[in-house]
């Protein structure tokens, strides 16, 4: 969808694929944050339940994102906590935001793709933020123990214990109400898994996968990890996600693939 905007004196400009509500939307910017890196390439065999990658090695990365919407900020995924394991980041999200002259109190939303430990690890650093999380994931985290393996409630206890505001998302969530930042319902990897659409005026539309796919071969071949919660849902989510990417001519960022995150400027630069 391309629309031509015509201003007063017959001056027309083109906004690539932005929703009608975006005409007066505040500036949106997307900054990539470091949330960890694998030290060496490793086997990715576990990311296929059809034995598709017996030999393939990928050096996975762990990426988080800051979305600026006018004067409001959203952090998408929070990676591992500093020092949590050999793949954990060396600099916390708070210290990275400080380099941008931002404080945790300025972050209105912490939105997470899903409940795995490498996506929620630093959420507790933003206790005043509203937690946006898929209802399916929230129900697991706040439900009976023991939890399913790899679900990590510890960094989210502020919200699970009632100390922070939480909004559980059932379908899609248009975070700021103008279509510029939308959590896309992509269940399957976990019950409430979401991806994120960010619509930028200069750079165009960007789709952050969450863990809908973990690396390019996995995305291209509709690979389903062995540790998924719902195979059919993942395949349906991949189908929907790819159709959205095609329709909106979006740049797809597979969050764990270093080849992909390089499509966005290196920190501290932001895509706008």
Residue 116 touching Zn ion (CB under 5 A): yes
Q: Which is nearer to Zn ion, 96 or 228 (CB)?
A: 228
Q: Please choose, out of 115-123, 153-161, 174-182, 233-241, the segment that lies near Zn ion by the rule CB under 5 A.
A: 115-123
Number of residues in the chain: 272
Q: Which is nearer to Zn ion, 203 or 218 (CB)?
A: 218
Q: Please choose, out of 35-43, 177-185, 210-218, 231-239, the segment that lies near Zn ion by the rule CB under 5 A.
A: 210-218
Q: Please choose, out of 21-29, 99-107, 116-124, 163-171, the segment that lies near Zn ion by the rule CB under 5 A.
A: 116-124
Print the SS3 string covering 166-201. EEEECCCEECCCCCCEEEEECCCCCCCCEEEEEEEC
Q: 């899609």: which residue's tokens?
A: 172
In angstroms, how far is CA 246 from the centroid of its own chain? 19
Q: Which is nearer to Zn ion, 176 or 191 (CB)?
A: 191
Residue 77 touching Zn ion (CB under 5 A): no
Q: Do residues 139 and 105 lie in contact, with contact meaning Cβ atoms separated by under 8 Å? A: no
Please state the closest distance from residue 114 (CB atom) to Zn ion, in A. Answer: 6
Q: Which is nearer to Zn ion, 23 or 43 (CB)?
A: 43
Please state the closest distance from residue 193 (CB atom) to Zn ion, in A. Answer: 8
Residue 211 touching Zn ion (CB under 5 A): yes
3-state secondary structure of 38: coil
Query: Judging by beta carbons within 10 Å of its beta carbon (0-12, 13-18, 19+), is residue 232 exposed, middle or buried?
Result: exposed
Please state the closest distance from residue 106 (CB atom) to Zn ion, in A. Answer: 28
Phi, psi (deg, nearest 5) at residue 81: -75, 150
How many Cβ atoms sit within 10 Å of the Cβ of residue 113? 28
Q: Which is nearer to Zn ion, 47 or 176 (CB)?
A: 47
The DSSP-derived string for 27-60 is PEEEEEEEEEE-SS-EE-GGG-TT---SS-EE--
Q: Do residues 219 and 254 lie in contact, with contact meaning Cβ atoms separated by under 8 Å? A: yes
From residue 4 to residue 43, the character string flagging contacts with Zn ion as x (rule: CB under 5 A) and all else as - is: ----------------------------------------
Beta bridge partners of 207: 197, 252
Please state the closest distance from residue 190 (CB atom) to Zn ion, in A. Answer: 7
Q: Which is nearer to Zn ion, 96 or 186 (CB)?
A: 186
The contact set with Zn ion (CB under 5 A) reads 116, 211
């Amino acid at each position: 969808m391309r629309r031509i905007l015509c201003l007063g004196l017959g001056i027309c400009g083109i906004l690539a694929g932005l929703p009608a509500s975006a005409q007066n939307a505040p500036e949106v910017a997307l900054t990539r944050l470091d949330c960890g890196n694998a030290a060496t390439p490793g086997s990715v065999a576990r990311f296929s339940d059809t034995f598709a990658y017996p030999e393939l090695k990928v050096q996975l990365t762990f990426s988080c994102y800051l979305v600026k919407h006018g004067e409001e900020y959203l952090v998408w995924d929070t990676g591992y906590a500093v020092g949590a394991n050999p793949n954990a980041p060396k600099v916390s999200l708070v210290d990275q935001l400080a380099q941008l002259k931002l404080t945790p109190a300025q972050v209105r939303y912490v939105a997470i793709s899903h409940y795995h430990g490498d996506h929620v690890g630093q959420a507790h650093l933003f206790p005043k933020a509203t937690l946006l999380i898929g209802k399916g994931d929230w129900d697991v985290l706040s439900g009976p123990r023991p939890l399913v393996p790899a679900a990590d409630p510890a960094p989210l206890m502020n919200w699970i214990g009632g100390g922070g505001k939480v909004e559980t998302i059932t379908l899609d969530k248009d975070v700021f109400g103008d279509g510029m930042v939308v959590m896309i319902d992509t269940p399957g990897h976990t019950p409430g898994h979401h991806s994120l659409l960010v619509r930028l005026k200069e750079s165009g539309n960007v789709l952050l996968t969450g863990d809908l796919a973990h690396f390019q071969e996995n995305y291209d071949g509709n690979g389903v990890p062995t540790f998924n919660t719902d195979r059919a849902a993942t395949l349906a989510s991949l189908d929907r996600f790819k159709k959205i990417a095609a329709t909106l001519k979006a740049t797809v960022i597979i969050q764990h693939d270093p080849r992909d995150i390089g499509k966005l400027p290196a920190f501290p630069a932001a895509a706008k």
